[in-house]
Structure 1
Amino acid sequence: MQEYKTKEELIEEIEKTSKLFIAEFDDITESDKDKLLEGVDRTPAQMLAYQLGWLNLIMSWDKDELSGKEVITPAPNYKWNKLGGLYNSFYEQYEAYTLYELKNLYKDLVSTFIEWTNNFSKDELYGQGIRRWAASTPSKWPIWKWIHINTVAPFKSFRTKIRKWKKLNAQ
């Protein structure tokens, strides 16, 4: 897993990879946003819904913990070893949005997520056990790893997926 020496490095990588990812959607038409193609496991709209769902979910864990609520990860009624239902809930939550709206939601949410990330101190970001939600799995990751695995990593892997989708759609 990629590591970051500073919060600024992490934020810079989020900004870079998020822009590269969302730019891949510029030449996708509204009529193709829900097109599922053999060889790619999600539609373009589902790829964006997935990103929106995870970004919102992580920030909600932190908000809930700070307000004294019990945080259940990944979410109530979902288990880490069965995330398909959670992904479907993300798809359903955003299915009525146009591609244009999804892209704008994504851009706005990435900005909000970066602001949220920037509010952590170095100790909060890199320390273990700082937040209960971050220590809720056996890996007990520090917050920066949760941020990386739900931003930079999927922005890169989903960029590959959307490129494959576009190649198949052009055939």
Structure 2
Amino acid sequence: MSSIPMNKQALYDSIQHAYDKLIADYKTIPDSYSRKTGVEGNVKGTKISVCDTLAYLIGWGKLVLKWHKQTSTGQPVTLPATGYKWNQLGKLAQHFHAHYKDWPYPSLLHEFKVTTDKILTLVNSLTDEELYGDTWYRKYTFGRMIQFNTTSPMRNMRTRIRTFKKKNGLM
């Protein structure tokens, strides 16, 4: 499942597969480890918690949903997010961490599921043409932008989570 999705079904399957693998790892991490820092952060040289990784994934997922809502209602879309430029993704990650800092681990796991389910529903509601027919942002289709901000970070985060689990004797 490492190839780049080029149609609706492949995108849907890619997101579902990445989610299933990642959530299986999250579910083996005890709550007592969820706020322990030790996961490689999105800002070079930083360490974050397991909860911060969920905040990051939820934040990006919600941005994807927001982009679609804005596009479908004719509103202007600010990418990646209002107040952030593409060269400020570390700051955006820290914004996500801060936004969810008080959420308990089980609530973050639930919110990650809800957000992923909404993205899967969105993908399912769109046609191949809507996802891959036209350039949506710069040279990228909307399907590719969804993949960049769902499957890719999920896979990346799974590698980091598994490293954290190994270092903490959780595997």
Q: If the length of structure 2 is used for normalisation, what is the TM-score?
A: 0.87
What is the CA-CA distance between 1:116 and the residue it aligns to?
Answer: 0.5
Counterparts of residues 69-148 of structure 1 (less than 5 Å) = 69-129=75-135, 134-135=136-137, 137=138, 140-148=139-147
What's the counterpart of residue 44 of structure 2? none
Residue ranges of structure 2 left out of the alignment (5+ in a row): 42-47
Q: Does the 8 Å contact 2:25/2:158 carry over to 1?
A: yes
Residue ranges of structure 1 left out of the alignment (5+ in a row): none
Q: Take 2:128 and 2:162, find their aligned partners in 1: how far apart are those partners? A: 35
Tell me how many residue pairs correspond in the alignment: 163
Counterparts of residues 1-171 of structure 1 (less than 5 Å) = 2-37=3-38, 40-41=40-41, 42-129=48-135, 134-135=136-137, 137=138, 140-170=139-169
4+ residue stretches of structure 1 with deviation over 3 A? none
- 1 or 2, which has the higher strand percentage? 2
Identity %: 29
Provide, for residues 50-76 of structure 1, a one-character-per-residue CA deviation record: whole Å limited to 9, x for no partner. Answer: 110001001101111222322111112
Q: If the length of structure 1 is used for normalisation, what is the TM-score?
A: 0.87
Q: Take 1:28 and 1:11, find their aligned partners in 2: how far apart are those partners? A: 26
Name which of structure 1's ranges 59-68 and 113-122 shifts more when overlaid on structure 2.
59-68
SS in 1 for 2:140: coil
Q: Does the 8 Å contact 2:22/2:154 carry over to 1?
A: yes
